[in-house]
Amino acid sequence: MFTLPVLEAALALVHQSFPGTPQFAWPLLAARAGAEIWVKHENHTPTGAFKLRGGLVYMERLKRERPHVKGVVSATRGNHGQSLAWAGRRYGVPVTIVVPEGNSAEKNAAMRGFGAQLVEHGADFEAARAEAERIAAGQGLEFAPSFAPDLVAGVATWALELFRAAPPLDVLYVPIGLGSGICGAIRTRDLLGLKTDIVGVQSVGADCYARSLAEGRRVVLDRADTQADGIAVRMPDEAALAIVRDGAARIVTVSDDAIAAAIRAYWTDTHNLAEGAGAAPLAALLSERERLRGKRAGVVLTGGNIDLELFRSWVQGSAAGMG
């Protein structure tokens, strides 16, 4: 895992492309939660999610070490692909992205807009990843995984910015997709010598990390049943699972209804629009109000890339159903 000088270098590299993101303590969120809440606004990156940080570090190293690389291929539900496409355009590396059939139309459009060639294949992320690996082998492209040292070091720069800008946090809630966000936060906390509890967040319908920790073995699910596509993962990454097992305080699982309520809370209390994975940490925090009284908590709003139709059917639809 990376050292503090490596993390500092990654932060400097990220800041060559954009000046980081803000972190604010929102008073209406504090009133809602009964605790001081600091939000790290990764929805304000150029791609609307913290994955861009990892894509920049990954692509810079690849281009520096292999200047004549033919191209990169990867699989994604959206934010990882946008990060690679954006960083690939910056460093002159062609990018092919494989997404599951029926993937977010707006995220697909964004990836194409950032310059990626898009391939639709399979029913879920795991099927798309297998196809991306097949394309890499057949076309001589570099396969970019969703969890790798460069990606974790780059993504971790959001945590470095937050820990240095905010007052000391008692707890920080981080969503778990394949794990780069939470693993980066754990490592950054440890490098800075902080005592902050890092809490992972998953959907109740895609809780492979939570089940793996509970059962003491790697658990692979048959399906990922959640509308929060950024955390719709069936299969834990083994390296990430080991880091989470050793460094996370716990994993909290939240329902899609709770995530929809958190998206609405972000909008009403801060006027920021969150996607499902971006709002999941707030949903988890709100589910733990009692244990947070008198404490200072952080959440990372990891993404704001929610389709308008999904917002209408899920978030607004859930609100109507609660009436």
| pLDDT at residue 323 in the model | 42
What integer pLDDT is reported at residue 186 of this predicted model? 98
In angstroms, the CA 86 to CA 212 distance is 33
Where the chain has pLDDT below 50, the residues are: 323
Overall residue count recorded for the chain in this entry: 323
Alpha carbon distances (Å) from 143 to 54, 59, 99, 147, 276: 15, 12, 14, 12, 27
- Quote the pLDDT of residue 320: 63
C-alpha–C-alpha distance, residues 97 and 119, integer Å: 6
Q: Count CA atoms within 13 Å of residue 50 on its CB side.
A: 36
Residues 103-144: tens digit of each pLDDT: 888 889 999 999 999 999 999 888 999 999 999 999 999 999
Q: Please determine, looking at this structure, whether the domain spanning 51-146 carries the CATH number 3.40.50.1100.
A: yes
DSSP structure class, residue 43 = G
| Confidence (pTM) | 0.94
Instruction: Tell me the per-residue pLDDT of 166-203, one tens digit each, with 9 for 90 and over.
Output: 999 999 999 999 899 999 999 999 999 999 999 999 99
Q: What is the pLDDT of residue 210?
A: 98
The partner residues of 155 in beta bridges, in order of sequence, read none
pLDDT of residue 1: 84
Residue of 267, 274, 18, 237 whose CA lies nearest to 149: 237
CA atoms within 13 A on the CB side of 147: 20
User: Please, are residues 50 and 181 in contact by the beta-carbon 8 Å criterion?
Assistant: yes
Indicate the CATH number for domain 4-50+150-322. 3.40.50.1100
CA angle 94, 98, 100 (to 5 degrees): 160
Q: Indicate where the chain has its CATH 3.40.50.1100 domain(s).
A: 4-50+150-322, 51-146
Strand order in the sheet with 95-99: 117-120, 95-99, 72-75, 142-143
